[in-house]
């Protein structure tokens, strides 16, 4: 597979050294190839997987991970064929690594439930540290798209709403796009406890804190006016990718059905909100599909022409 070959080449070359912010001289974007960068931040060095634009163009697509983001690799790099999908396109794929249960936001404090030793500052990283580092390699900080699944889908819409000078396109695949819907704050709390014992109060504070409103795509919908968007969620009904052969498969499928049903409900509510404001977007609501990587890989492929159009990166 292409991504295996790219990763192998990266292994031979070694990971790039730490990238510093705002270097004096920007270089041309490498024409194709895979590289792993380490970008400095207040959280320490953050690993970023990069597939450079095929012809050295300056556009970029950030792909955000889900709730259980790992520290060794972004799941888009091994759960999907994202690298292959864009291998011949003139857009750089940017896959930040880490951020479990972070919602890719700036937190108030470290999570006290699991003795976290840093304060998450992912919004700052994705909108300052990372674009600064990429600009040193020729990537245009104002010619960027952002997409994510589940938690990452919520974050993609939030970041695009608050940083319109950076993002020209946003996509959510099974994101939770009405974070303040009845029962959602409790659902987020439980999900974060399940995914690493993270305390939601360290992130957004108590229910009356304005951070809850600021990080809710539903509330921030007006700020998305004029932005090209691709928004999708499955029905929660098992489809082509769901083969139940044992009890583990059954448990995972049932869990995926519930998670996708919740994503669909909040995404449909977000659609209604955008429609009420006269804000357009491209939607995809397939008749089958649960909260699972094969479906998100397929949706990324469907979103691809919209991303390339918005970035003028054909």
Locate all alpha helices (DSSP H) within the chain, ordered by sequence. 2-13, 76-79, 82-85, 122-124, 130-135, 151-162, 184-194, 200-204, 211-214, 247-277, 293-311
Kind of pairing between the strands at 229-232 and 282-284: parallel
Indicate if 232 belongs to the active site: no
Q: Which of 291, 292, 297, 299 is catalytic?
A: 291
Phi, psi of 190 (to 5 degrees): -65, -40
Q: Tell me the C-alpha distance between 38 and 18, whole Å.
A: 5
Indicate if 27 belongs to the active site: no
**CB-CB contact of 160 with 170 (8 Å):** yes
What single DSSP character describes residue 66?
Answer: -
Indicate if 260 belongs to the active site: yes
> Quick count: other Cβ atoms within 10 Å of Cβ 27?
10
**CB-CB contact of 159 with 219 (8 Å):** no
Q: Which of 58, 101, 111, 150 is catalytic?
A: 150
Residue in 153, 160, 158 with CA at minimum distance from that of residue 264: 153
Q: Which of 202, 260, 292, 299 is catalytic?
A: 260
Q: Tell me the C-alpha distance between 97 and 47, whole Å.
A: 5
Catalytic residues: 150, 260, 291
């Amino acid at each position: 597979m292409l991504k295996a070959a790219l990763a192998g080449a990266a292994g031979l070359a070694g990971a790039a050294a730490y990238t510093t912010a705002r270097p004096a001289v920007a270089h041309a974007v490498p024409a194709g190839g895979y590289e792993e960068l380490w970008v400095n931040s207040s959280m320490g060095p953050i690993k970023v997987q990069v597939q450079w634009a095929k012809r050295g163009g300056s556009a970029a697509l950030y792909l955000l991970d889900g709730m259980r983001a790992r520290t060794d690799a972004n799941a888009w790099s091994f759960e999907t064929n994202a690298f292959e999908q864009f291998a011949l396109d003139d857009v750089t794929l940017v896959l930040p690594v880490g951020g479990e249960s972070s919602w890719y936001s700036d937190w108030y404090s470290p999570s006290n439930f699991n003795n976290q030793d840093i304060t998450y500052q992912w919004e700052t990283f994705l909108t300052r540290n990372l674009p600064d580092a990429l600009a040193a390699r020729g990537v245009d900080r104002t010619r960027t798209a952002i997409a994510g699944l589940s938690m990452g889908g919520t974050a993609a819409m939030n970041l695009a709403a608050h940083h319109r000078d950076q993002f020209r396109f946003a996509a959510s695949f099974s994101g939770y796009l009405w974070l303040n819907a009845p029962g959602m704050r409790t659902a987020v709390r439980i999900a974060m406890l399940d995914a690493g014992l993270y305390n939601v109060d360290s992130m957004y504070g108590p229910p009356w804190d304005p951070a809850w409103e600021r990080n809710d795509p539903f509330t921030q919908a007006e700020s998305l006016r004029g932005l090209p968007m691709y928004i999708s969620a499955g029905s929660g009904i098992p489809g082509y990718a769901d083969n139940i052969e044992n009890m583990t498969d059954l448990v995972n499928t049932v869990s995926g059905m519930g998670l996708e049903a919740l994503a669909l409900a909040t995404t449909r509510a977000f659609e209604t909100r955008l429609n009420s404001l006269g804000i357009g977007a491209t939607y995809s609501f397939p008749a089958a599909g649960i909260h699972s990587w094969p479906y998100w890989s397929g949706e990324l492929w469907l979103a691809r022409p919209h991303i390339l159009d918005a970035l003028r990166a054909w």
